[in-house]
């Protein structure tokens, strides 16, 4: 309310903007800390793997940061059901997508890929960006609580550690599959419930 009453060129205007930005950062840090401390037990259900991509993109479709990002979807063309807490996993996917776009500085190519493992016991989702990659020193730390490669004030370091915990709770896993100067691939895998008849037939044959 105070900010609205001040003229744009008022001497205190810029200082008040800084205060509001800091307050907003503090609010987000507290919010993430509370979420981290009370991660609830997952409510698991069976749902199609590809919905992780379609629903996450639907929730993100108004984001301005995608204006200069080309999104390529490489989705398996048969139905694979996975069992997990859909809300939790979708939130993880959204965070991975936002992190990837941030790593590319909001411009580049983002590939979203779904797959099943060779033994057909796990199904996966990969986020592949064209950013500058993660240093070898940082790769081993990115799932640690409070570790972040972002500038001060831009990240709490809880997003990926929460993702790691969520995947463990859902009998899955998340890992850095590949990283380098041409980009990074982060992959998550979850247990398969059922595959389409065609794939089951192929696996028997």
> Considering the domain 43-204, what is its CATH architecture?
2-Layer Sandwich (3.30)
End-to-end, the C-alpha distance of the chain in Å comes to 69
pLDDT range class, residue 62, cuts 50, 70, 90: low
User: Rounded to whole angstroms, what are the CA distances from 177 to 6, 24, 25, 52?
Assistant: 50, 34, 31, 19
- In this prediction, residue 9 carries a pLDDT of 58
Structure confidence by residue, pLDDT tens digits, 172-201: 999 999 898 889 999 999 999 876 644 443
For the entire predicted model, the pTM comes to 0.72
pLDDT digits (tens, 9 = 90+) for 3-15: 455 455 556 666 6
In contact, 137 and 197? CB cutoff 8 Å = no
Query: What confidence tier does 156 reach under pLDDT thresholds 50, 70, 90?
Result: very low
Give the pLDDT band of residue 153 (cuts 50, 70, 90).
very low
- Give residue limits of the domains in the chain: 2-35, 43-204
Enumerate the H helices of the chain as residue ranges. 2-5, 13-37, 51-60, 86-103, 136-139, 159-169, 197-204
134 or 152, higher pLDDT: 134
């Amino acid at each position: 309310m105070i900010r609205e009453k001040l003229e744009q060129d008022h001497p205190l205007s810029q200082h008040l903007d800084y205060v509001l930005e800091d307050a907003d950062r503090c609010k987000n840090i507290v919010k993430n800390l509370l979420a981290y401390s009370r991660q609830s037990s997952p409510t698991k259900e069976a749902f199609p793997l590809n919905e992780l991509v379609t629903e996450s993109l639907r929730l993100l479709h108004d984001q301005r940061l995608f204006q200069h990002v080309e999104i390529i979807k490489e989705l398996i063309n048969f139905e694979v059901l996975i069992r997990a807490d859909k809300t939790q996993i979708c939130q993880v996917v959204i965070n991975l997508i936002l992190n990837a776009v941030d790593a590319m500085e909001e411009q580049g190519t983002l590939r979203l890929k779904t797959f099943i493992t060779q033994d057909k016991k796990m199904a996966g989702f990969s986020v592949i960006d064209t950013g500058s990659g993660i240093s070898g020193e940082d790769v081993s730390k990115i799932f640690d609580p409070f570790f972040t490669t972002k500038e001060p004030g831009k990240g709490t370091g809880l997003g990926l550690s929460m993702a790691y915990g969520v995947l463990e709770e859902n009998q899955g896993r998340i890992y850095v599959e590949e990283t380098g100067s041409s980009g990074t691939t982060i992959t998550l895998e979850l247990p398969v419930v059922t595959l389409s008849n065609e794939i089951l037939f192929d696996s028997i044959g």
